[in-house]
Amino acid sequence: KRRECKPKRRQSLKRAQGVSMEAFGEPSGRIGHTMCRRWLVLLLACLSLHAVGAEPCSGHCVVKAERVTPAGNVQFDNSQPLMTAVGCLETIEITYGSNVVMGSLAAPPKLVLMLGADRATSITASAVLDDSNAGLKNKICCREHPMDRDGLLAEAGLQNEKCQSEQTLALIPFNLFACMIQNPIQRNLTAGTAMIRIQFIVPERADITVGNNIDMMGTTDGSNTFVLQAEYEQFSNGKTTIIRAPEYSIDMQVQRCSACLEKAEGLNMLAKRLGTHWTQVYSANHDIVGSPDELEQARLLRLGSLYSVRERDTLMSIALKFGVTVNQLFKWNGYLRNELDTMPESPNHMSRALTLGQVICVLPKTCHNSFGGSQPVFTHWEVVPGMGGSVGLDYQVQPPTPP
């Protein structure tokens, strides 16, 4: 039921403000519900503008963007790509200001949409990435090679869990948005801002993924883009209209042959996780100053070098050239495990079709005793000189010549 303003209150407002009621299109004899509402709108608009404390935002309306690290928040500039690596846990906080459109109130956005690079559909990112069992499952399923995921889940005590329930998807890696969570928007009406927190794990094979396509040649770092777009409400003539601000894009560059230090992890633990020795990683990062055991969490480290496959190269010849094993090449280049086995009759299944110019990650052996004596050495077969596993050449071997 509508309530009319009392005449005494009306006249006191009139005297205090020196405003004629006819100026608002209202009869001077009676102030109705419409007049009360207009005064309220003016009052709220003043309060809202005062809360912002500055001119209304323009463009995409992002007033602050930060990358959250264990050492503290770091300003993030979206004109440059976010540098990261497979397996890294990234957190970004984006703060939006209030937007004022003619006839509306100054207020922060009610909603922030997340879109893929194609801008086709809005994405719901809700992967659990905390320390719960669900979070542990998602971390394993995102970081690890599809062939290893379910086995690692069992080792972690999640025997009844699987990364993919459908068998046809068991060997397909997760995409970025399956490994991402967009936390609920946090609105601060006093400050006139709204903050959105986005967290994600860079999935396996993201370092050779450009957009939605996997580049098996690996000639460039992986790249991906997601877009944020704020929605504001405009109030005019008793109607609410949704106004979308321009897009705010975040480009991500996933470095090949790189990794991030996890919580409570030093170079020694990182090296064991990657099947190498800490001196190898230390040799590849000349910017490390001080003790290698006192590096900050989440630090991005280069693991080794990128090697371009030459004519007649094979995985075995490359491994022997750099003093490593084929198993290690598979560990550092998981996508090679999905390549065509050019020697399926071999019990080791370590032959793969390589393409001339294909780029692979190698951690050259820099110390003679750095791997110990337990590393397998493939001496039971010898590669025929001049023949290898490149495109157009069959993998040919001969038994070793008896001494």
pLDDT in tens, 293-321: 778 888 899 998 899 999 988 888 898 88
* 392 bridge partner residues: none
Residue from 100, 68, 96, 65 nearest 79 by CA = 65
What are phi and psi for residue 110, nearest 5 degrees? -85, -25
Residue from 146, 150, 210 nearest 338 by CA = 146
| pLDDT single digits (tens) 334-350 | 888 877 777 776 666 66
Tell me what the mean pLDDT of segment 24-33 comes to.
46
Task: Let me know: does 319 contact 329? Beta carbons within 8 Å.
Answer: yes
pLDDT above 50 for 20: no
pTM: 0.74
Average pLDDT of the chain, as a whole number: 76
Task: Let me know: does 250 contact 267? Beta carbons within 8 Å.
Answer: no
